[in-house]
Amino acid sequence: MSKQIFLTVLVILAIYACESNKKKETMQTENESPFAISSKAFGSLPSGQAVTEYTFANGNGMEVKIMDFGGIITSLKVPDRHGNVGDVVLGFDNLQDYLKEHPYFGALIGRYGNRIAKGKFTLDGKEYDLAVNNGENHLHGGLKGFDKVMWTAEIVEGELTAGLKLNYLSKDMEEGYPGNLDVEVVYTISENNEIKVDYKATTDKTTVVNLTQHTYFNLEGKGSENILNHEIMIKSSDFIPVDAGLIPTGELMPVAGTPFDFSKLTKVGEGINDDNAQIKIGGGYDHCWVLNKSGENTLDWVIKVVDPSSGRVMEMATTEPGVQFYSGNFLDGTLTGKDNITYPHRYAMCFETEHYPDSPNQPQFLSTVLHPGEEYKSTTIFKFSTIE
């Protein structure tokens, strides 16, 4: 082989190697996650079990932090209309405050979200007694619901998503509920500022299940006085009236002509002090709205929240038939949260997607019974954006 041919071959090989390396670098860039994912120790339970807080940032201004204790969303930062990022959920800076009594800040709720009258229900002819932890009624799963247990956590990544898969086995007769209930909840964070919450559960004995998520939102962020200037829209023609213990009376009531009509964007404060008897019972809004759905178990966009001050917008889609809108009536300034901020009356609000309260005792309501061989499935999405 002549020297010239040899040099030509070397040049060709060098060019090929360079192009090959470029392709590898491109493939690596394409396969890299767009998310910054991290975790850190967040203290220990009295038993000594370590608690971990996981952080997911998507590069578009959203950062979500979730604990494996209670599946709690501890922080949710999203940009306002000027691009300034702020935390829009209530919570605490340390685990010890989460271990004290608080109103379910950011937590997963189960086995049964909302209230069950007098802590009793009957299945297959057998009466079950639950903890009475809200006046004479049962609330949000009992004395140690899913908000107060350790979940097994695993980071999951997709091509354009990242999140946290949580698993928990609720044993037979835990908090009085029958059946070993195997529960999976997956929080998925997307590039377009969505948080998707997928719930699944199976049981080995007939039981009741109604899972939800209990984050308190204030889209203005810290420094605001309350959420009364937030505007909300709920696609609903009826709400469920309640008695003095906030237990459904069993009927549905049209929202038209009442302070419960949020069929178009309406300020929370517009009717919250109305003379309406239901408003007085709840001390504001603490009721379940019957959602206008396109079909049973369909994933429909049914809720919109706008904060005119910051320009932040939250939209919600759910497969659930109802949503409990709670206007923070029991916040009273006695709790100090993140950044040493005191949480006054109506400082934040919740949108708990769910089946109706007390359904196990209300046969006219949609069933919450889960049988062996069946799978409970539910999905809710929170999407954040801004307006000018």
**Enzyme catalytic residues:** 214, 352
b/e string for 16-33 if b means 16 or more Cβ within 10 A?
A: eeeeeeeeeeeeeeeeee
CA dihedral 25, 28, 34, 36 (to 10 degrees): -100
DSSP state letter for 148:
G
| Tokens encoding 71 | 């599946």
Q: Which residue has the tokens 């049964």?
A: 112
Q: Give the C-alpha separation, 91 to 101, whole Å.
A: 12
Q: Give the C-alpha separation, 202 to 326, whole Å.
A: 29
Question: Quick check: 67 and 39 in contact, CB under 8 A?
Answer: no
Q: Which residue has the tokens 């809200």?
A: 134
Distances (CA, A) of 16 to 6, 19, 20, 22, 214: 15, 5, 6, 10, 57
Question: Quick check: 209 and 178 in contact, CB under 8 A?
Answer: no
